[in-house]
Amino acid sequence: MKLPALNYVFEQDWILSKCVAKKVLHLGCAGDALMNLGAEASLHVKLLGIAKELCGIELNEAALSQLKEWCPASESNIYFIGNVESLEKIPIIDKFDIIVAGSIIEHLSNPGLMLEGLARYCHKDTLLLISTPHAWGLCNIYEWL
């Protein structure tokens, strides 16, 4: 069997290209790493610049507070504290064009609960973008050389 040629893409750039002028739900929108990397590394900050509407869910209250300093809540940018494994407890009634779950699924005890809970936020054309770090990926191997 011959595999097709593969192209390496930068994860954030690819995600951003899908979210232009869309209504986006961003799961794990702040993340622990942001507290050390700054606003320029934040996917949420970048999404805010291109999305039509943006809603973020974050479990870490300290990280979310930092994100709110960089990107205050507004009519088109709202935040919720919550666990993505218990989405039924988060008072969101909207449907979204894109749902981004970037590098959070590997931290979940039961990813299936998140996936089941996301159904309430989807319409028939919703695109779910899930990414996870690849320990043996090109960028990680390059760092070891």
- What CATH number is attached to the domain comprising 43? 3.40.50.150
Residue 142 lies in a domain: no
Please determine, for residue 129, whether its predicted confidence score (pLDDT) is greater than 90.
yes
Residue 144 lies in a domain: no
- What is the model's pTM? 0.88
For the chain, how many structural domains are there in total?
A: 1
Residue 95 lies in a domain: yes
Residue 145 lies in a domain: no
Identify the domain containing residue 22 by its residue range. 11-134
Model pLDDT, residue 138: 61
**56 strand-pairing partners:** 26, 79
pLDDT in tens, 4-37: 787 777 889 999 999 999 999 999 999 765 667 8
pLDDT in tens, 84-119: 999 999 999 999 999 999 889 888 999 999 999 999
- Identify the DSSP state of 59: S
Residue 2 lies in a domain: no
